Amino acid sequence: QVQLVESGGGLVQAGGSLRLSCAASGRTFSSNAMGWFRQAPGKEREFVASISYSGRTTAYADSVKGRFTISRDNAKNTVYLQMNSLTPEDTAVYYCAASGMKMTTTQASYNSWGQGTQVTVSS
């Protein structure tokens, strides 16, 4: 397993942008597919984006497609989530997670989770 620490959350106005980072410790980061999830108040945690261990393949939830971009830098053991055109509906705690070799959108397949970072979008 890898240890994950998210950063970059905060308060932003609607239409603005934020970039989240997730720093991983451990030597196995580059062999892990990674994902971002979010949980809004009163709602279940949901899939946002995922990226293969190589970074060549990505997947997005329909609600963020075209606005969010997931990327990774294996030399820095870091995965990113660039969020543009934010709306109040994007307000949530954002979590990064590692899923092993296989890229997946299924939460149950992720075995390492960060503590989360709050993103708040004001209207």
Backbone angles phi, psi at 108, to 5 degrees: -65, -20
Residue 24 to residues 2, 11, 45, 80, 97, Cα–Cα distance (Å) = 6, 24, 21, 11, 10
pLDDT at 25 over 90: yes
pLDDT at 1 over 80: no
pLDDT at 27 over 80: no
Band of residue 26 on the pLDDT scale cut at 50, 70, 90:
confident
DSSP, residue by residue, the chain: --EEEEE--EEEETT--EEEEEEEESTTGGGS-EEEEEE-TTS--EEEEEE-SSSS-EEE-TTTTTTEEEEEETTTTEEEEEE-S--GGG-EEEEEEE--SS--S-GGG--EE---EEEEEE-
pLDDT one-digit tens code per residue, 84-113: 999 999 999 999 999 988 899 999 999 999
pLDDT at 86: 98
**Stretch 24-41: mean pLDDT:** 92
pLDDT at 73: 96
Alpha-carbon distance 86 to 83, whole Å?
A: 7
- Average pLDDT, rounded, for the chain: 96
Percent of the chain with pLDDT over 90: 91
Name the token pair of 11: 């308060």
Nearest to 72 by CA among 33, 106, 37, 116: 33
pLDDT at 50 over 90: yes
pLDDT at 88: 97
